Amino acid sequence: MALPSLQIAPHGSIFAIGAGTARALARNGVRAVAPDERSDSEGLLQLSALAAVEGRRIALVGAPAGRDLIAPALRRRGAAVEEIHVYERVAPRLTRKHFDALAGAEDPLITLLSSAEALGHLVELLPTALLQRLQRQSLVVSSERLADIAAGRGFSSVFRAASATPADLVEGAARALAHHRL
Q: What is the CA radius of gyration of the chain?
A: 19
The residue type at 26: A
Q: What is the pLDDT of residue 172?
A: 96
- The answer to whether the beta carbons of residues 94 and 118 sit under 8 Å apart is no
Task: Give the model confidence (pLDDT) of 73-96 as tens digits.
Answer: 999 999 999 988 888 888 999 999
84: nearest Cα among 70, 64, 68: 64
The residue type at 78: G
Question: Does position 5 have pLDDT exceeding 60, yes or no?
Answer: no
Q: Write phi, then psi, for 170 (nearest 5 degrees).
A: -65, -40
Q: Quote the CA–CA distance of 118 and 165 in Å, as a whole number.
A: 15
Q: Quote the CA–CA distance of 173 and 70 in Å, as a whole number.
A: 30
pLDDT top residue among 159 and 39: 159
For the chain, which domains are there?
19-85 (3.40.50.10090), 96-180 (3.40.50.10090)
Q: What is the 3-state secondary structure (H, E, C) of 20-74?
A: HHHHHHHHCCCCCECCCCCCCHHHHHCCHHHCCCCCCEEEEEECCCCCCCHHHHH
- The answer to whether the beta carbons of residues 16 and 25 sit under 8 Å apart is yes
pLDDT top residue among 5 and 51: 51
- Could you tell me the pTM of the whole model? 0.76
